[in-house]
Amino acid sequence: MTSSQLQEFARFGAQARLQAIEEERRAIVEAFPDLGRSSGSTNGAQSPATRERKGMSPSQRKAVGERMKAYWAKRRGKKAGTEGADTQTVADRTARSANQPAKRKGMSPAARKAHGERMRAFWAARRAEKIAQGDGAQAEAGADSSGKRKRSRTVGRKESRKK
């Protein structure tokens, strides 16, 4: 038997099975007419007829949009402690939302300079402290296998900046 003959017999058997299933479905719907209307109720309970939704027209959609804008504007107004959206100007609404904090300003040049000086002093003190702690340890392990003394990373950077 060739594969084409086998496929033809399989198709014939599938058609016969589908006809049998369709006859069985018709018999069930005749016995229970309410099953034919619902699209698959669960646990045998009778489900209400499903309702088809109609789409909204553009004018209806626009009306809903306007109502929702007014609703949310009113909600934002209450949250901010005002009575309604009428108290907000257009500039207020576009600048920032009522629940967002104001944008922080940057440092003034004088404050930036003072901060830089404080940080330079802080890191100089840290380097001095580290060098003081490491003097004893560096004396013991100061030379590598080639007999040369290792330079710390920060000292190397300082020397390259001075050049």
State whether residue 102 is helix, strand or coil: coil
Give the confidence band of 139 by pLDDT, cuts at 50, 70, 90: low
Specify whether the CB–CB gap between 52 and 60 falls below 8 A.
no
The model carries a pTM of 0.24
Most confident of the following: 61-70, 80-89, 96-105? 61-70
- What is the average pLDDT score of the chain? 77
**Extents of the domains making up the chain:** 3-37, 60-95
Residue 70 one-letter amino acid? A
What is 43-86 written as a DSSP string?
TTPPPPPP-PPPPPPHHHHHHHHHHHHHHHHHHHHHHHT-SSGG
Give pLDDT tens digits for 43-74.
Answer: 555 556 677 878 899 999 999 999 999 999 99
Place of tokens 């669960």: 42
Specify whether the CB–CB gap between 62 and 56 falls below 8 A.
no
Higher pLDDT, 48 or 6: 6
